Amino acid sequence: MDERPNNAPNHCPGTQSEKAGKVSACAGCPNQSLCASGAAGGQDDAEMVRAKLSSVKNKIFVLSGKGGVGKSTFTSLLARALARRDPDKNVAILDIDICGPSIPRIMGTLNEQVHQSGSGWCPVYVEDNLCMMSIGYLLTSPEDAVIWRGPKKNNID
């Protein structure tokens, strides 16, 4: 079954098509190079995440089964310390707390928004070498609740 990305143009041939990324309808599509390479058609989500993170040398996961223990505070302090320790290294925070994304508040970026580019979303930068992406940036207001039900919530791996 051919699948069309949500942001694909009207006459998109689909990611599984031999014409994916190669026909005139694909011109200007943010997925064109990915589709033309064949990578968009055959990867499952976990494989795609693994491929995109393969260039990241070090990954630190801060997690807990309990809320209110300071995960976001610790994460923000660790990220700032790592970014200041070596200005030539890039540091990023990925805040996937769907219950209460607090990284934007802690980092002083509550009113920032992510921007769409040809290769996906651009993270919010607080320093030249420190950026972050948070579900909080996708909400229209800091008071908005993240309401995901069924497959959207249950398929977050």
CATH code at 142? 3.40.50.300
Is 30 within the bounds of a domain?
yes
pLDDT tens for the 157 residues of the chain, in order? 447 666 666 777 777 777 777 888 777 787 777 777 766 555 567 788 888 889 999 999 999 888 889 999 999 999 999 999 999 999 999 998 877 789 999 999 988 988 888 878 899 999 999 999 998 888 887 777 777 655 554 555 4
**Domain membership flag for residue 38:** yes
Residue 136, token pair as written in the block: 């909080």
**Does residue 76 form part of some domain?**
yes
Are 78 and 148 found together in one domain? yes
Task: For residues 96 and 140, state if they share a domain.
Answer: yes
Count of structural domains, the chain: 2
77 & 140 share domain:
yes
- The domain in which residue 138 lies consists of 71-154
Pair (81, 143) in one structural domain:
yes
pTM of the model: 0.64
**Are 82 and 119 part of one and the same domain?**
yes
Same domain? For 90 and 32 the reply is no
As a whole number of angstroms, the distance between CA 68 and CA 97 comes to 12
CB 131 within 8 A of CB 92: yes
